[in-house]
């Protein structure tokens, strides 16, 4: 997945503003890495790696859980 994960509270980023926008305009929201891991596990997947980029996005790799 290519996502824009939420960072720690107080970390400078526009992602929290995007999170509020998604909650108001849609039914979605931004998530932390831990929340992505929980979501993937509930779907029978395992978070295997995260590759931050030079942009606010990151590539999150998941595979079928063993």
Residue 45 CB neighbour total at 10 angstroms: 15
Q: What letter would DSSP give residue 32? A: -
Domain ranges of the chain: 2-64
Give first-to-last CA distance, the chain, whole Å. Answer: 20
DSSP-based three-state secondary structure for 8: coil
The structure's pTM equals: 0.72
* C-alpha–C-alpha distance, residues 6 and 3, integer Å: 9
- 7 has pLDDT over 70: no
pLDDT in tens, 18-49: 767 767 777 777 788 899 999 999 999 999 99
pLDDT band at 3 (very low <50, low <70, confident <90, very high): confident
């Amino acid at each position: 997945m290519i996502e824009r994960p939420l960072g720690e509270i107080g970390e400078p980023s526009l992602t929290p503003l995007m999170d509020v926008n998604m909650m108001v305009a849609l039914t979605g929201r931004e998530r932390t890495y831990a929340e992505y891991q929980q979501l993937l596990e509930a779907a029978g997947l395992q978070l295997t790696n995260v590759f931050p980029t030079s942009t606010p996005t990151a590539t999150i790799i998941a595979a079928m859980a063993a």
